[in-house]
Amino acid sequence: MFAAALLSACEPPQPPHLQQGTLLPSAKPVADFNLIDDKGESFTLKDLQGRWTFAFFGYTHCPDVCPTSLSMLAKVMARLRQEENLPSLPRGLFVSVDPARDTPATLANYVKYFDADFVGVTGKSQQLHTLTRQLGILYAKSGGDSADDYLIDHSAAIILFDPRGRFYALFNVPHDPDKIASDFMLIRNYYEASE
């Protein structure tokens, strides 16, 4: 009986059963990238380290998916702010895939509308591709009436980075703030038991 208890104590924790999220079988390291945040400062892999980060990829001219998703993510944050066992909130990160129109100032005004703590970033197309390809995030410019009037088709998944800056989990549509907040707490507890 003692041996069975000892064996049980040595077994790694089992991945949680999530309602909405998908936990990667193993955390995926992310190669460095260099973007610009909404204050005009460099945002690199190092900035993803040290805390959990929910990231959504879109653009400020998006007519529906982006505002809906960022409003939902703000609700996730509001629910997590009520958690007593959460020493620090994850970061909410909006990555614009439309650097031609989304300047740092545009991003700052846009993300703060949803949550005062959200951070907006963008960058040169090459650097955006460096990051998005690693995560399976797809996007492409769609037709418009002029050079400044166009849409961008893009993925609607929310990526979760762990405090080491690795791709740890994702949340596909339809997004439910209560389920995502609950899943995050399970993921966080699993991570702490596993590391």
| Model pLDDT, residue 2 | 43
Residue ranges and CATH numbers for the domains of the chain are: 29-194 (3.40.30.10)
pLDDT digits (tens, 9 = 90+) for 32-73: 999 999 999 999 999 999 999 999 999 999 988 999 999 999
What's CA 123's distance to the chain center, in Å? 17
| Model pLDDT, residue 141 | 86
Q: Output the pTM of the full model.
A: 0.90
Angle between helices 65-81 and 104-114 (to 10 degrees): 50
pLDDT-derived band of residue 10, with 50, 70 and 90 as boundaries?
low
Given a cut of 90, whether residue 75 has pLDDT beyond it is yes
Amino acid (one-letter) located at 84: E
* 8-state DSSP, 16: P
pLDDT digits (tens, 9 = 90+) for 95-129: 999 999 999 999 999 999 999 999 999 999 999 99
Amino acid (one-letter) located at 48: L
| Model pLDDT, residue 145 | 62
Angle between helices 177-194 and 65-81 (to 10 degrees): 60
Q: Which of 173, 141, 168, 169 is nearest to 157 (CA)?
A: 173
Average pLDDT, whole number, for the chain?
90
Rounded Cα distance, 95 and 92, in Å: 10
Average pLDDT over residues 152-157: 90
Given a cut of 80, whether residue 154 has pLDDT beyond it is yes
51 touches 163 (CB < 8 A): yes
